[in-house]
Amino acid sequence: MNDNNEKKTVMFFPNREEYKKPLGAVKVGEPTRFNLLFSRPSNPAEVFLVLTKDGEQDVYYPMTYVTTNVNETMEYTVTVSPTTSGLYFYHFAVNTEDRQYRIGSDEDLNALLGKGCDWQLTVFEEKYADPDWLNGGLMYQIFVDRFNIGGERKKTKNDAVYRDDWGGCPEYRANRDGKILNNDFFGGNIKGITKKLAYLKSLGVTCIYMNPIFEAHSNHKYDTGNYRKIDPDFGTEDDLKELIKKADKKGMKVMLDGVFSHTGDDSIYFNKYGRYDSVGAYMSEQSAYKDWYTFESFPDKYRSWWNIDILPEVNENCPAYDEYINGEDGIIRYWTRTGIGGWRFDVADELPDRFLDRAVHAAKSVNKDALMLGEVWEDASNKVSYGARRRYLQGRQLDSVTNYPFKSDILAFCMCGDAVRLNNTVNVILNNYPERVVNNLMNLLDTHDTARLLTVLGDSGETDTREKRANAKVKNLAEAIALMKIAVTLQYTLPGVPCVYYGDEAGLEGFEDPFNRRCYPWDNKNKEILRFYKKIGAMRTNEKNILACGKYRKLAAQDGLYAFSRDNGVETLYVVANNSGSAVKFLPSGKEKDEYTDLLTLKPFDGNVPDKCAVIFKRTQDVVFPVKKPRIKK
């Protein structure tokens, strides 16, 4: 048996139904068929699927010979039905008279003979109904203080810096103790969002995700002061209910940001500065909140989030805290009853499994369609945090997660043309995640935690100091916009739901916090970028039936060219992104160019794709977006 020849003809790929069905993660007890094709060894005696549950022993499942194909490969099959949820890993073993051959996975999940990793099989319980209202939709993230001012502006904090220069550079100031203040406010509020619902609708938005809105003394609100009260600078509970009601009429849901791993030290619960009329944990060892926190030396030495002492860390396993957040009269149920569409859990890695179980149950007991989405920066199916394997996606917890893996590799493709890496990541996520999770993935390209998309893709010159980064502007704007359009096209068409960080569509730039949190430029929008976002948003709305759950299939991934299709069994959408350095010709096999017609007053797609360009088309409809190679001013 020649390993080199055999390697070329071993065939198994878990994201194709001819090899594995069903695709992706599977439900507990669901029959799962594996088909393996390989070149004929001399006298094969046995073929096995070797399946291993995480932390347990290998189990060998004999495979049954099916047929010999025309290419002289032998096909074997087996069907297994995993009986418990969890992570499983598998490879294949082929025994002959004199040796055993191992068949494993390469980086793109294709089969390798004699080496390779195990494939992953995620098995989940179907505990809750699929909250499918977001499928095929569009999310929009709002940093409330910087989006829009609606009605009378509130100024309720004595030690805040209230600014009247909307669009000015956010401050990065520390007090004499070196603590970053984050206390400059520009006046954005909930009523300001309500006033802009028609604008959000014009972008195709179906879900408004707001950064935290509960009372806190910073502008970012991740230092919660009171979970039961909306920050008065942002508005009132009635303002939130009005936003929810009016957004609902326009086909949009509202998602809240839940920050439950820590509170602020300046809070009703900790009350380090005596601002609140409460006996906070810092004030007395007899405080009702004392057990929420971990003191190493009372009161000044306590465990804090990432050692930032203004953010004392809570003990989520404390029964009193758990009940306060997840109980019958707890925070989750209280705000879910206002009619929100769901929650985004901040730093889900730091919330224990039991706490997440109860939080999800609390929300879904009020609204079975509430979407529970966690902030996870890695592959959430096999994530290990604090020494424990997490079970976010195994049926009792999260409906979906933030999709940072796609973000990283979309940007890598735009900056250096690495199509292979992007396709590999897409395949791994599709294999490892349940379909319902994939359909609700938050596909982001930037957030309040990262540099702005346009800044990442452009050249801002020297940025070696904070002062330079604060005032930096992209110099090669035309080229950066061309790359931005490619990135956004991929974000809008790959499996999952795109999430636009407010202002990206208007051309906002900015490096790290706080420069990525500038005010929305209502009087100075980049019209070219905004037109593009509206056009691609309309495309997503029109093609919802495909983009909600259409199967992904790679068509090309090499040398700066990335092409794939999305197919719902009735229609097929094709996406071609070219960052190769030269024009390419691309047409799906079996399709003639005169079968394409144009519904957006663009030229019919003839297969020519310029460099720095993204194109979306269907068999009977050119949908979008040739991006002309920019002319750079010298």
Rounded distance between C-alpha atoms, residue 253 and residue 260, angstroms: 22
Is 375 among the catalytic positions?
Answer: yes
In the chain, the percentage of residues whose pLDDT exceeds 90 is 82
The distance of Cα 302 from the centroid of its chain, to the nearest Å, equals 33
Question: Taking Cα atoms as reference points, which of 370, 433, 423, 424 lies closest to residue 402?
Answer: 433
Report residue 530 CA to chain centroid gap: 22
Q: Which residue has 């596909």 as its token pair?
A: 443
Q: Which position has the higher pLDDT, 85 or 632? A: 85
pLDDT of residue 288: 97
Query: Across residues 208-223, what is the average pLDDT?
Result: 98
Above 80 in pLDDT, residue 604? no
Query: Quick one: average pLDDT of 538-564?
Result: 94
Percent of the chain scoring above 70 in pLDDT: 92
Q: How far is CA 133 from CA 204, 217, 254, 338, 357, in A?
A: 14, 34, 12, 18, 22
CA distance linking residue 269 with residue 552, whole number of Å: 48
* pLDDT band, residue 6 (cuts 50/70/90): very low
The pLDDT value recorded for residue 622 is: 47
Query: Max alpha carbon distance in the chain (Å)?
Result: 84
Q: What is the mean pLDDT of residues 49-55?
A: 97
Which pLDDT does position 178 carry in this prediction? 66
Is 509 in contact with 452 (CB distance < 8 Å)?
yes
Pairing of strands 551-558, 561-567: antiparallel
Alpha helices in 341-386 (DSSP H): 353-366
What was the pLDDT predicted at 163?
A: 97
**Average pLDDT across the chain, whole number:** 91
Predicted pLDDT at 619: 60
Confidence of residue 470 (pLDDT cuts 50, 70, 90): very high
Query: Measured between alpha carbons, how far is 238 from 193 in angstroms, rounded to an integer?
Result: 14
Long-range residue pairs from 521-524, CB within 8 A, at least 24 positions apart, any chain: 521/167, 522/148, 524/167
* Lookup: tokens for 380: 């959430």
DSSP state of 188: -
DSSP state of 219: S
Helix (H) or strand (E) holding 195: helix 190-195
For residues 620 and 491, give the distance between their C-alpha atoms in angstroms, rounded to a whole number.
Answer: 23
- pLDDT value at residue 407: 98
Catalytic residue among 346, 350, 399, 622: 346
Helices (H), 64-161: none
Considering only 3-7, 295-299, 473-477, which range has the smallest mean pLDDT? 3-7
What angle do helix axes 477-493 and 527-542 make, rounded to 10 degrees?
10
Give pLDDT, residue 383: 96
Residue 4 clears pLDDT 60, i.e. is over it: no
Q: What is the torsion angle, in degrees rounded to the nearest 10, for the CA atoms of residue 31, residue 36, residue 41 and residue 44? A: 0
Task: Out of 184, 375, 409, 418, pick the active-site residue.
Answer: 375
DSSP 546-591: HHTTPEEEEEEEETTEEEEEEE-SS-EEEEEEE-SSS-EE---TT-
Q: Which of 168-172, 257-261, 367-371, 433-437 has the lowest mean pLDDT?
A: 168-172
Residue 426 pLDDT level (bands cut at 50, 70, 90): very high
| Whether the predicted pLDDT of 598 surpasses 50 | no
Residue 595: pLDDT band with limits 50, 70, 90: very low
Residues 454 and 446 sit within 8 Å (Cβ to Cβ): no
326 φ, ψ (degrees, to nearest 5)? -110, 0
**pLDDT at residue 3 is higher than 90:** no
Q: Which residues contact 569 (CB under 8 A, 6 or more apart)?
A: none
Instruction: Retrieve residue 547's tokens.
Output: 């983009």
- Residue 199 pLDDT exceeds 60: yes
CB atoms within 10 A of CB 601: 5
Using the predicted structure, report yes or no on whether residue 593 has a pLDDT greater than 70: no
3-state secondary structure (DSSP) of residue 192: helix
Per-residue pLDDT at 98: 80
165 is catalytic: no
Residue 119 sits at φ, ψ, to 5 deg, of -80, 155
Tens-digit pLDDT profile for residues 503-524: 999 999 999 999 999 999 999 9
Q: What pLDDT, in 10s, does the model give residues 83-135?
A: 999 999 999 999 988 888 899 999 899 999 888 899 999 999 999 998 999 99
What is d(CA 97, CA 1) in angstroms, rounded to the nearest whole number? 12
Whether 454 has a pLDDT exceeding 80, the answer reads yes
Question: In the 3-class helix/strand/coil scheme, how is 443-511 assigned residue by residue?
Answer: EECCCCCCCCHHHHHCCCCCCCCHHHHHCCCCCCHHHHHHHHHHHHHHHHHCCCEEEEECCHHHCCCCC
- The Cβ of residue 577 has, within 10 Å, a number of other Cβ atoms equal to 30
Positions of E strands within 96-213: 100-105, 111-113, 119-124, 139-142, 161-162, 184-185, 207-210
Spatial contact of 193 and 149, defined as CB atoms under 8 Å apart:
no
Distances (CA, A) of 302 to 11, 178, 310: 56, 18, 10
CA–centroid distance for 583 within its chain: 31
Token code pair at residue 292: 């929420």
Residue 72 pLDDT greater than 90, yes or no: no
pLDDT tier for residue 588 given thresholds of 50, 70 and 90: low
Distance CA 321, CA 359 (A): 12
Q: What number is the average pLDDT over the span 149-167?
A: 95
Q: Is the pLDDT of residue 319 over 90?
A: yes
Distance CA 85, CA 120 (A): 13
Pick from 49, 39, 33: which is nearest to 7 by CA?
39
**Residues 233-271 pLDDT 10s:** 999 999 999 999 999 999 999 999 999 999 999 999 999
Q: Whole-prediction pTM value?
A: 0.94
Q: pLDDT digits over 356-414, tens only?
A: 999 999 999 999 999 999 999 999 999 999 899 999 999 989 999 999 999 999 999 99
